[in-house]
Structure 1
């Protein structure tokens, strides 16, 4: 059960996430990969550390693509980060930009809370 919810949330670039979800998941991925990378580094050397660095890069890319989906941009926009100086700045600005307030081609608005409070005044 846990694997079927965690794996898509951290490693697949489907759907949309809010800014706070993106930042929280990036921090969690960084902490987990740092801890396990350090442990793997003590057991297997640089190969173990490199493996968890690759896992973090994959996770960060998938999470960032989900975040860009919330701003109606494709995940391929992350490739702009390879442009020196301006590319990473452009990507960061769009990652921190507020998402669209309606459903788009990537899914419904993740910031809408439909179950927040329902009051039936007819009763």
Structure 2
């Protein structure tokens, strides 16, 4: 849950880098919350079958729209790609699949977008002998 909250705290932060764990944990928790809110909307009768959104799920989707884009841009930065690559999602199927593959890449070293966040957050496991 801390990764989800971290993304929400960086609401308008498009600079820097986001590790895979941050991106995918946000996506997983976001999916769970969306499903639960859709069930609530279905239960109270506000779910619109044509759009797939109801009152609560629609408000939630609007609330996390900017953080979702921001964490995606930071994830692209972590793989050493420009945030403009996110526009590839506008290409039906192929663009989304390509971005899915890029989001799965591991970060290995520092790049122009900042230091490797994986190296910053890892505890020191080496002991002096």
| Partner of residue 12, structure 1 | 13
| Contact 1:33 1:55 survives alignment (8 Å) | no
- Matching of residue 53 in structure 1 with residue 54 in structure 2: no
CA distance in 2, matches of 1:114, 1:52: 32
Q: What's the RMSD between the two structures over aligned residues?
A: 3.0
From 68, 72, 75, the counterpart of 2:80: 72
- The unaligned stretches of length 5 or more in structure 2 are 47-53
| Partner of residue 106, structure 1 | 113
Taking structure 2 as the reference length, the TM-score comes to: 0.68
CA distance in 1, matches of 2:16, 2:45: 36
| Partner of residue 22, structure 1 | 23
TM-aligned CA deviation for residue 14 of structure 1: 2.9
Taking structure 1 as the reference length, the TM-score comes to: 0.71
CA distance in 2, matches of 1:51, 1:63: 19
Aligned residues: 118
- The unaligned stretches of length 5 or more in structure 1 are none
CA distance in 1, matches of 2:58, 2:8: 20
| Partner of residue 32, structure 1 | 33
| Contact 1:10 1:25 survives alignment (8 Å) | no
